[in-house]
Chains A and B, each alone.
Chain A
Amino acid sequence: MSSKSIKRTALLSSIALLGAVVSGCGNGGDSEASSSPSNSPSSSSSASNPASTDAATPQATADSGKKIKLEVIETGNNLPAPDQDIIKKELDKALNVDFNLTVYASGDDYKNQLNVRMASGNFPDLFALDRQQLIEFSKQGLLLDLTPYMDRLKQASEFIGEENVKKGAVDGKIYAISKSSQIPYNTYFIRKDWLDSLNLEVPKTIEDLKTVAAAFTNDDPDKNGKKDTFGLTGGELNGAFAPVFGAFGVGSPGSIYEKDGKLMNALYDPAMKDALAFIKEMIDTGSVDPELLANTALQHQEKAFKGQAGIVWIDWPNMTKENMIEQIKAVNPKAEWIQMEPPAGPAGKFDGSWEIGNTPGRYAIPKALEKDPEKLQRVFDLLNYVSDPKGGSLLVQFGVEGTHFTKDGDKIVMTDKAGEVGYSWLYQFTGRPEMSYLQTKFVPQAEFIKFANDQPRIQTLNGFVDLPEGYVASDADRYIKEELAKFAYGQRDLGEYDKFLKTLETTMKYKLFMDAAQAQLTALGYGNK
């Protein structure tokens, strides 16, 4: 290469970059939030007709008839490439859109990405968000207030139910569509073959639980001549002992629930100390996973599969789906896990807590979409369409009729091609009728599903509480977890429990949270009986 041509290329590339600077400065770089967020070609077609209300049949909407690009983002995984995405193709056809769904496997990545896009004015047309983001974004005027549009979202709001519509509200205005409610999945699972080999019964009370756990640890239930097993595991303290807290009538630490008609915070529940004392006794016998507190993700499941633990508190999908059974049997063909009812204690039996203020997910629309009524209508169409129990909802639940499922009267039967659309849940923006959905899709697990759903649980209300200004939740959470672990492991005497609460209230400003929770829940009508 001659030096001349090198100079020229260098010059060219710097000019190109320079041009970039200028255009960057020209835009101010900062006031982007106000400019049009959409870069799709169709957004320029302003000749739209907002006068369409017949939501369930989107084809009937009178609009320019153009194919509109819709961008939706959320967390998820296993989404196939667009050209192989059957659900996308069906939605494109039904709604006259070019659907562009992007999913992020890591919740953290997703959250960061959404925050940056919101701050930069590059809004997706519909996106999943958590409660904290919902509050923050709506306060800053980034979200479309859906309240005046609710009549155009009739199908969707009927589908999710009034309770769930309210969960998308901030200060009385609806900013998000919540998914329809989920049902609880978790229970204790216990090794039936270990019980049999030691001639033990399924534990009925927490005392039984303690005895069985100890026997699983000391009496060599797998008969391999080695002391290499232990009784109980789960995800951290809260996971392994959820039904034990329940047996004392205590919600999971930090949760708020109604007790005798009054609001109660689990940490202040008089029975909390008893629960911790019992847990400490159990831990002292050496029958609990020594690394319980470090069990992140599914490590407790792995310990159960490996034959190290005999009791685990976990959800049915991770224990009873076919591929899970396969793994369990590969380790030990005789291994048999059964669900058990929560053991009874002084306050009866509760299989841990169940949060009723929460929703499995919520989706919001950016305020900027107001300026593009045609596109906005398509987003509404989409939400209504996937909420139509006779139409789109079936698509996003089960796939294409005739290919992935067949109808036998009212009953839906999955075909052997159903695996092709195993990712269809990514498109369930308004959720699904949980029980019938699971019973249809997971036929071999039907009993486990029902069993888990039938267990009594303490209903907690934290999902309704918005964090007050000045309260640093992460510091308080850490302190609570650390100190409870110390109490449970005997590193701190339970006699100091009140001192712990004192520090929590002052140093960690928990008082702010308590007052806010009290005020907000009372306003919603809880604790007034």
Chain B
Amino acid sequence: MSNVSDSLLLKLIIIGRSMAGKSCILLRFCDNKFESNLGFTIGVDFRFVSLNKNDETIGLQIWDTAGQERFRTITSSYYRDADGVMIVYDITDENSFDQVDHWFDEISKQAPPSVVKILVGNKTDLENKRKISTERGLNAANSRSCPFIEVSAKSGENVKKAFEMLVDAWTEKSKQHITKPRKKKARQKITNESFEKKDKGNCC
């Protein structure tokens, strides 16, 4: 893993209704330490994760606007050079599922056509409070022809898998479109330093 900077780097964004657990998914994925007592240092960007896939290391730069959902317009510039979008809803909250359509519309308007998507239903640990059946989630994803998975940020179930599925979808799609000029640009932005920081303990 000495040559991380040469590997592929994808920009992923996580969107969804506030309190759907977006930040929890990210925290779980980045640290795999949800009940982190120490918290983390603000300013140092912890949102870099590397993923091993078929002997290739793929760097993920994950963006999250958790807490800023009420700033309605802020996200538009966000989508612009995204490679993948994770749309998160809360399986115990009907409202968050209702907004899924809205997010798909946003993506089609704002994000580049090459973007890949995944629909994620969070909080499977609260099975007894479930309002949205797996089937409904699956149907919504199928109608937009994107993958679907249910996860629990609390238990960690499927969280890693969700990101892997998103990366898989991207690899699949990039095979079809051989040209991918934006990738280079994104890669240049990232310094070696910030990358290695995350690489030490949490490499998957």
| A and B pair up | no
Name A residues whose Cβ lies closer than 8 Å to a Cβ of B. Answer: none
Name B residues whose Cβ lies closer than 8 Å to a Cβ of A. Answer: none
